Structure formats: C-alpha cells, structure tokens
Amino acid sequence: MAQNYVNRRRQSTIVIENQDRILIPERKISRVSFTGSDAPSRKTSTVSYKSNVDEKGTINPSFTSDEQSQDQISLREVHVGHSPDIRRKSVTYIKKELEIDYHAVELGTLCNRYNSHVQLGLTDAQAHKNRELYGKNILTPPKKTPLWITFLHTLVGGFQLLLWTAAILSFIAYVAQMVQIGDAPPDNLYLGIALSVLVLVLGLFTFYQEFSSGKVMDSFSRLVPTMATVTRDHKILLIPASELVVGDVVHIKLGDSIPADIRILECQGLKVDNSSLTGESEPQPRSPLCTDDNPMETQNLAFFSTNALEGTGKGLVVAVGDGTFIGRIAGLTTGMNKIDTPMSREVAYFVKVISFVAIIFGISFFAISLTMGYQILDAAIFLVGIIVANVPEGLLVTFTVILALTAKRMAKKNCVVRQLHAVETLGSCSVICSDKTGTLTQNKMTMSHIWVNNQVLDVSLGENGTLPDLEDLAGFRDLSRAAALCSRATFLAGQEELSIPQRLVSGDASESAILRFVEMSLGKVEAFRDNYPKLFEIPFNSTNKYQLSIHKHDMTRCLVVMKGAPERVINLCSKIRIGDKVHKMEDWKEVCIQTVDNLGSLGERVIGFCEGELPESEYPVGYKFSAEDLTFLEGNLVLVGLGSMIDPPRPGVPNAVELCRKAGIKVVMVTGDLPSTARAIARKVGIITPENLTREEIAKSRNINKDDIDPATCNAAVISGTELQELTTQELDWVLANHSEIVFARVSPQQKLIIVEGFQRLGKIVAVTGDGVNDSPALRKADIGIAMGISGSDVSKQAADMILLDDNFSSIVTGVEEGRLIFENLKKCIRYLLCANTANLLPFLLYITLQIPLPLGTIQMLAITLGTDILPTISLSYEKPEGEIMIRQPRNPEKDKLVTQQLISYAYGVIGVIEAFAGFFTYVVIMEQNGFLVKDLIDIRKQWVSSFINDLSDSYGQEWTHQQRKELEWTCWTAYFCTIVLCQWSNLLISKVRKDPLHRKLFDNWIVLVAIVGETAIACCLTYTPGLNHSLSYMPIKFVWWLTAVPFMFAIIFCDEIRRLLLRLRPNWSWYQNEFFY
C-alpha cells in the first residue's frame, strides 16, 4: 500500500496550512513483511523520503528506494525483556511500535531466557535476580508537580498576569501619592485590593478544576490486580501481584484479572476480555499456540489487567509493570503534556493585544506629561492610571462564568466538560477521530441477517423495536430450534418488565444476540427448552470451532443440534434443508460458501446452524455419549441455515455524521476491530458514503489487484494497522490530506496517537472519542478528548476533557454546536466590554492633558467593569446563533481570532467614543449648571484638588471650598457613571447581532432584558443608598441628569444599524466587509 502512495506522490504536491509544523528530516523506515497464507505478495524494501518545502509552503515530495541504506530509523524494536528504566525513556521511544518475540520463540528457549521451569516455576533466588534485571510489577508513577506550584500557575497564567500587573501598579500609584502629598485618596488602594481578591478567587476555582482532572495515573493504578497465584519452587503460592517477576508461572481462573503479560502454557476453555485494549467486544479465546506474528492478534498471550471470562489456564510471565502493554500505554498517556486549547491561545493573544494597547497609551502620555512640565513621579502615576484603565478587569470573571454556564448547559445534554476551555475547543474542531465500539455502535451484538430456504433476510430490529414476521417462513422453525437449544445463555432473573432488547443476559455477546433474537421470534425460550431436555453437551472451543448439544425428542429419540464457524459446520453436514425438502450438501456447498462470504463482506460475524435426529436403534435415550467418540455425527447432520450478527450503529449516529459533514468536520473511524467490520459500520453510519469506493472495493469490482489502483482516484480509504505501520510520516500526511473519508482498522494505541499527531501537523483541531484503556494516549494528545460515560474505563475518563454520559456520538454534534455558539457569543461579550474602556480612559487622558477636574473616579470605573457590566456580558452567552452555524466551515484558529483588529477598532474608535462623548456631555452639563463653564475648567486641576484652597471662584465669581468642590466632583463622577450605564443598554442590544437587523433578535433572549434591569438597579443602589454612596464617593443626582444619555443611546443604535445594513446590502464590498465585520 505504501508503495502506491509513493508512486502517486512522485507526481503530486501537498499544501499544508502550517509549514512550520511539517518540517521533518529525511527518515528511512524498515518495512515489515506480511506473513501468513493470505498475505499479499510484497517485497521487503526501504523507502527514503525527503521533504522540500518551498517559499509558498508547498511540499514537493521526492522518493528514493535504497535497500542498502545504513541510516535507518526503525519504528519497531525487538523486545526480549523489560528494563527497569523504560519509563525514563522519551515519549518518542514509547510511541514506537513494539516488536516482541516471546510469543513466537520455542517455549524451552523462553524458559532458558528467564531461567524458569514450566512445572517448577522460579526459585526464590532466581525470582530476586529477575526482579533486579526486569523490574517490579508496578506502574511507575510520573513526576508530579507540587500542588503549590500548580496553584501559583493558576494565579499568574494568561489574563491573571495582566490583572496582577494592574493590581501592583495600583498599589505603586497609591504609595507614590502617599509619598508625594501625604494624604492620598484611597481609590488606587481599593482598586489594587479588588483586583487581587478577584484573581485569588478565580485562581482557586481554576486550581480546583485542574486538581480534579489531573489523576490519570491514579486510574491506571486501579487496574493493577492485588493478588496472584504462582508456582515457586514447585509450590503453589498466593502472593501480592506486585511481587510477580518475569519468568513466574501464574495460574488463572474464571474472574481473575491477568496480573502481568503472560504467555499461555496450558488452558481449558480460557477466554479473556480484551475490549478495553483492542475494542473487540467478543471474548477472545486463548490457547498455547502462536496463531499470529502480531502479538496483539496471537492467542498465546494474555495481557496485564484484562479479565478471564471463562475457563482456566496457566502462563509464563513475560513482561511486568512498565514493560507490559498497559505499562506502555500508561507511559504514553502520562508522559505527554496536554497542548493548549484554542481558547487558551485566544486568551493569550488577547492579553498581548490589550497589553500592547495599554503600554502604547501609557508610554505616549507619560512622554506627553513630561513635556507638559509634570514631575516624573506625577507622570509615572499617570502612566499607571492609563494602563489600569485599559485593562478590562471584568473579562476574566466573564470568561470563567460564561464557560461554566455553557458547561452546565452541555451537561444537561449529556456532555460533561472536565476542562472549561474545552467547551469552545469542540466547536473549533475540524476532525473527529471516533472509536467504533460503544461510540458509533451500541456495543451490543444483535442478529442482522439469516439465510434459510435459500433466502437472505434482514432480521434487524425495526424502528418500533420488533422483528419482521418469520413464522410462516419455510425452514425458519428448524433454524430457531437449533439456535434456542444449542445455547447456554439465559436471561437474568427479575427483568420481566423490561423489553427483550434491554434485558441482561448471562452469556457472551454472540450468545446474548442469539437468545434475544430467538426469544422475540420463537417465544419463551426457557419453556421451549423444557420440551427438549439436554442429555449431553460439548462446549465451544477454539479447536473444534463449534458447540454441540443432544436433547431428548419425542420421548424416545435424540436430537443433536450444533452451531459454530460456518465453514466447520458446513463440512460436518451431509445434507441441507431448503424449504420442506432435504438435499445433498455437495449440490449446495458452493452456494453456502458464497453466502458466508457475502455476509462476511458486510462486516458481520457468520454462524452456521444444523441439527439431526439420531437413529433410535443406535442411539436411544440413555445412550452414554462421549466427546471422544463423535461417530454419531456421521451422516446425521442437516444444515438448517446461517445467521449473522453485528454490533449495530446507534440510532441517530448516521444523522450526526451527516451534520458533521455539513459543518465541514471530517469524521474518521479509528478502531481496533477488523477492516471488514469497520468498513461495514462506516458505510452504515455514513463515514463512507455510497458514492465513494475504497481501493479494495474498486479492485474487487474490476477483478484486479488493489495495488494497481491509484490511491488518488479514491476519496475513501480503509487502512489497517499493518499498512499504517509501513507508511512514512509524509505518506501518512498525504493520506490524511487527500482522502475525505477514512477508516483506520486494527490499529494499536501508538498508531492512534500517530494518527492524531498527523492531523495536527496539517493544522487541524482534532477531537478524539474513546472508551478503552487503549484510547487514553490519543485522548490525552487530542485537542479535545471525549470519553464514554457508561462504557468508558476510568483511565479514558481521566485522560479526557469531556465525557458523554449517554455514550452517544450524536451528543458530540450538540457539543460542536454549543462550542461554535460560545465562540460567537464570547466575541460579542468582548466587544461589549471593550466599548466602555474608551469611556473609562478618556476622562483620565483629558485630566492629564487639559488639567481639568477628573470626570470619572477609579471606584466608578471599577463599578462599571466589575459591577454593572458583568450581568449584561453573561446574558450575551445565552444568545441564539445568527444563521445556521452548523453549515459553516470550522474556524481557522490562525485567522479567525476571538479578538480582531476590526473588533478593537470598532469598540474603541466608534461605540466607545460615542459613550465617552455622552459621559463628557453629562459632565459639562453638571459643571455649567453649577457655575463652571468649559473654558474655565481647563488648567484648573491643581487648584481644584488642593485641600488648602477653600475660596476657588467659579465662572460667575461664586467661591467654592475644597469640600464643596469634592462633592461636586463626586456628583460628576456619579452622573458620568450613570450615563455610561445607560449607553451600555444600547451597546448591549447592538451586541446581540453582528450582521442581522436588530428587530429580528430584540426580544429572543429575555435574560438580556433582565440584565438591563439588573445593571440599572446596581447603579441606583450605589447612587441613592444613604451611607453607601458617600463611602464610595457617590452622590445622589437629579433625574434630568440621567436623560442626557438618551440622544447618545439612539446614536449608538443608529450607527450600528447603518454598519449592519451596509454589510447585508454590499456583500461584495470586500474592503468594507474586512473592516466592519468582526
């Protein structure tokens, strides 16, 4: 397969969005040959690839074949034991595919390697040596960051650092004023204290969030079994599992958790649950035989932390602790740092922008102050004031509260967010790498098709949860009888009130599917079985590949029924029943085999059913049957049909996948299941659409080799783990960039991680879903990891950022919609908050440059940013989307910023200026009504603030004491504050829409109206509450002074309506769209 991509890419180029993330040195990867009778013919070779990135960011691939290359980097390493320092190796090392040989070498060689004995086990002395050589059977915990460092990080990261800077500068300004004049106003002191408390409270909240989510390694530790039964010095001992060493001989029985990676020495019907490691829902049989070169596929290995579901066995420990399969997954998961979320990067970018604006303003007016003759200490105090005025102190509160509210809203829709910033990340994602079992499917095997009377019938449950009527179908009665009798599965007691599909079953997944099917089609299975008492049984095993039972029939005869692997059952049958007639099997064998292939190509597990009445003369009731003597089968078995089952898709998943496709999100299946099963489910749920064929399907339709098909002609691809292992980094990037519909099957945890990293190299925001331990590294690496709440392991939940309580892929679409909406609404919130910054800043600038009495006090400014503006900003998080946000392409984090130049320009330069004019108009009105004309206010600052001047004359000659001037100044501060509050009404309303007419959305969010009432109530409380107002430098103001804001309120709405009207009427004015759409 890789060679196909090589051939194609000699003639092609790839454009990558972020070329700085794709520069990779030349690497040469040793090929891994296929083995087995069905392996395709392929030479073992080495492919070398150099990437040449031109100035436009285009990759021009050039390949060379070089089998003699000495500089090879292998992705696989031969592993013959476990070094105790494996966890100190880099994550890159752990990510390499592990090639082990202890499942394939001769048992004697393996025992010699570990100085062990199959019967005697290890001696105590040798056990001590092996522990020193290979390490202990424990998972080494990663280095933990001390809690106090974690807490400090929450206090100084991102926006918090900007607020600390503002707080420290406020304290510096207060101290400087105290030094300068001795009796400084407490405004800056109050501001510094308020900002410090704000950062501390929000830091504690963030610390709690991070502390509760940083327990990934603890969940791995819970996987470790506590005790193990071993043979030491020819004695069977029960020892702590942590004391196991490589070379120990352990005993396994039903219900045990496998205490280490072991090679099976002997077993009786042993089956293990590998679902958390490989995604396979079926119990996996174990045997002493090496059945596959791939250690994950062979039956003679059992892995640490998996559970024994059936049978007993004995095995040789071949890996312990960090050297086990689980240990390597733990190393992958805990050894990597979680990348910053898009929202974190947006906040960091916003902090840089605001800091830049604040510093530029501050330095500019510091210089202006010096040129105007101010002392350097005064100029420094002005510098501090300007910087603090530029900081939107309420933004951190707003961000935290809005993200928390959205997380709560998503929790009601079965999406629990563990990291608040992950709320928006899901909305930004452009790729979803989804596990199959339990996420796209129900993790519940069900009967899908039956073949009776030479007809293939769909027996899937209908929308109303019922089966098609099969009672009158010729031959169906015989098939259902064989299925009902040849089964050990039973329903658990006390479930009569539940529907049949919901009832729990004692039995494996296949048995459960058959029992539910027969119960729904035949009726009460237990009552039916009572009519056919069981006389003899041979359970299913991997050698026979069938299950057989003999039952009493018509009091005097014996009925044998069998089910199992179809090829095995077909070969044992001499006859076949078609309708009411019995035919020779030789006439129908090709039809049977073709039917098995057809059903298998659907990704379904096929089972054959047969029965036969034994001659009463030879096998009367009471005959002693034996598993050693199967002559009674010869010539007596009649094939009655075939059945196939599959883990069906969850209802709603196909629609969810289609919604993702419309939203520009690529859904990729990444599973440990077989390629045929993965392809079938991918087609059922729409990941692979009907119009797109894979190379395998095209080759089959043309009856040619798939390697003759150019991959570039296929939009869809199904790639196995073996094929993926052969691809170089650049070949994988080509696959990910050029196939719109992709399924990865039979992949390892390391490969899942490599797939995620591949998409991230292409500049994609990647979401990963999973429920097993094997998914945890990819969940951790993804931009957002999504675990399953019901079927998910503790490890996967701890590694994830979000948990789906209903295990339903459809819930992800809800999360995407919420994520996109929160980004849109956060943009509105920021614009709303920044508009008041100009109105807060300009009074201070004019105070410096024109030397007028200060129009707005620090406490009033703080009351706006941390008081009246908080409720309106939060109310914007409840806004409904403008237009269909789920038919837009995902945003590009490099271009579509939360805070843009257009947003800042419009907020500061248009709406902010109007609000500032409104505040100054009110200020001038009050001053003139009290005798101070505008022309006389200029250059009056020094006399105004001096406590030694108690006879300052106004424009009409009236004298004012210092206390009277102070009360008039407080009145101006209060009126300016109230004016800004009223202007923010209009600002809030226009913030609801970025392009649509306001009247369409004026009343669709009642919380906005509540917020308007709330902020006004806060303003009135501060203004008119006796005692409180004077203590905070407020004064009661006349009602008429509230009305001065009204013309400016309408001006704000009118100005923004014109902006939005032109955006709608002139979509082709690119310059206008670029400058005025934020």
Residues annotated as catalytic (active site), given as ranges: 435
CB atoms within 10 A of CB 1022: 22
Which element (helix H / strand E) includes 502? none
Q: How far is Cα 74 from Cα 97, in angstroms, rounded to an integer?
A: 9
Question: Do residues 1067 and 1073 lie in contact, with contact meaning Cβ atoms separated by under 8 Å?
Answer: yes
Nearest one of 870, 872, 848 to 945, comparing CA atoms: 848
Q: How far is Cα 580 from Cα 547, in angstroms, rounded to an integer?
A: 25
Q: How far is Cα 897 from Cα 877, in angstroms, rounded to an integer?
A: 18
User: 236-273 as b/e, with b when 16 or more CB fall inside 10 Å?
Assistant: eeebebbbbbbbbbbbbeeebbbbbbbbbbebebbbbb
SS3 for 94-160 is HHCEEEECCCCCCHHHHHHHHCCCCCCCECHHHHHHHHHHHCCCCCCCCCCCCHHHHHHHHHHCCHH
Q: Which amino acid is at 832?
A: Y
**Angle (CA) 833 837 843, round 5°:** 150
Helix, strand, coil shares of the chain, percent, nearest 5, are 50, 15, 35
Nearest one of 494, 505, 161, 527 to 352, comparing CA atoms: 161
Question: Do residues 612 and 560 lie in contact, with contact meaning Cβ atoms separated by under 8 Å?
Answer: yes
Burial of residue 576, with CB atoms counted within 10 A of its CB: 0-12 exposed, 13-18 middle, 19 or more buried: buried
Within 13 Å of residue 356, how many CA atoms lie on the same side as its CB? Answer: 8
3-state secondary structure of 262: strand
Q: How far is Cα 432 from Cα 418, in angstroms, rounded to an integer?
A: 18
> Which residue shows structure tokens 């169906």?
476
Question: Do residues 485 and 514 lie in contact, with contact meaning Cβ atoms separated by under 8 Å?
Answer: no
Nearest one of 864, 908, 882 to 993, comparing CA atoms: 882
Q: How far is Cα 981 from Cα 983, in angstroms, rounded to an integer?
A: 6
3-state secondary structure of 273: strand
**Angle (CA) 79 82 83, round 5°:** 115
DSSP string covering 633-692: GTTT-EEEEEEEEE-PBPTTHHHHHHHHHHTTPEEEEE-SS-HHHHHHHHHHHTSS-TT-
- What contacts 164, CB < 8 A, 6 or more positions away? 155, 156, 195, 196, 199
State residue 130 phi and psi, 5-degree precision.
-65, -35
Q: How far is Cα 433 from Cα 204, in angstroms, rounded to an integer?
A: 34
**Angle (CA) 356 361 364, round 5°:** 120
User: 958-967 as b/e, with b when 16 or more CB fall inside 10 Å?
Assistant: eebebeebbe
Nearest one of 215, 221, 232, 249 to 321, comparing CA atoms: 221
Question: Do residues 870 and 877 lie in contact, with contact meaning Cβ atoms separated by under 8 Å?
Answer: no
Nearest one of 342, 338, 339 to 427, comparing CA atoms: 342
Nearest one of 209, 207, 208, 212 to 160, comparing CA atoms: 207
Q: How far is CA 160 from CA 349, 391, 400, 589, 1038, in A?
A: 13, 11, 12, 75, 39
